[in-house]
């Protein structure tokens, strides 16, 4: 990626493998269910590797940008937000495809009406679990029921913590570059 604008277009493409999985889930359910655990682990490995490549690319693009530091910083912050959203949507989609209610157990005491609403909105529930996990907020109400679910939650939380660190590093780098530019100007 030689242009940061290209990165904004390429990052959502990380979601494309989910279309194939959705197809398998809907049209080849026997195959999908037989290899369910392996497919879930492959998803986790894929998103972790893709995320590291994306973040490394963002830092490289930022450090070699010919734009003014302020403009490059704004672009990288927007890129950071896009990577965050794509990661949360990716994990939420995986949780949804693999049936969020078989991966996680809700330990909260809810009224039957509220519980029914949560079950009717599986993707929203998946988004909630993913966002809470990625931000490492952790509600404590959704407990992984499977080893694969535990691995998925762990990998998403680690990516969230690392991404926070990368963001702080970018801000420090931008501040240092701004001081260097100001001292030369």
Dist CA 166 CA 148 (whole Å): 27
CA 100 to the chain's CA centroid: 16
What's the total number of domains in the chain? 1
Q: Which helix (H) or strand (E) holds 69?
A: helix 69-97
The whole-number pLDDT of residue 117 equals 87
| Integer-rounded Cα radius of gyration of the chain | 19
The whole domain housing 67 covers: 4-184
Q: What is the pLDDT along the chain (185 residues), one digit of tens a residue?
A: 456 667 677 778 888 888 998 999 999 999 999 998 899 899 889 988 887 777 666 666 666 666 565 666 677 777 788 888 999 999 999 999 999 999 999 988 888 898 888 889 999 999 999 999 999 887 778 999 999 899 999 999 999 998 888 878 877 776 676 555 555 55
The whole-number pLDDT of residue 158 equals 93
The whole-number pLDDT of residue 120 equals 92
**Contact predicate 123/92, CB 8 Å:** yes
**Contact predicate 130/157, CB 8 Å:** no
Q: Taking the model in full, what pTM does it have? A: 0.77
Q: Which helix (H) or strand (E) holds 136?
A: none
């Amino acid at each position: 990626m030689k242009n940061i604008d290209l990165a904004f277009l390429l990052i959502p493409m990380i979601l494309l493998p989910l279309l194939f999985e959705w197809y398998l889930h809907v049209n080849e359910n026997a195959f999908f269910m037989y290899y369910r655990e392996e497919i879930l682990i492959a998803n986790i490995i894929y998103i972790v590797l893709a995320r590291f490549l994306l973040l490394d690319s963002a830092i490289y693009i930022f450090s070699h940008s010919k734009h003014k530091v302020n403009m490059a910083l704004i672009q990288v912050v927007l890129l950071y937000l896009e990577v965050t959203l794509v990661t949360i949507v990716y994990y939420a989609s995986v949780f949804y495809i693999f049936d969020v209610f078989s991966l996680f157990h809700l330990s909260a005491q809810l009224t039957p009406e509220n519980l029914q609403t949560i079950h009717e909105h599986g993707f929203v529930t998946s988004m909630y679990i993913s966002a809470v996990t990625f931000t490492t907020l952790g509600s404590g109400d959704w407990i992984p029921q499977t080893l694969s679910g535990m691995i998925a939650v762990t990998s998403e939380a680690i990516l969230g913590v690392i991404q926070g660190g990368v963001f702080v590093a970018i801000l420090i780098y931008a501040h240092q570059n701004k001081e260097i530019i100001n001292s030369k100007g």
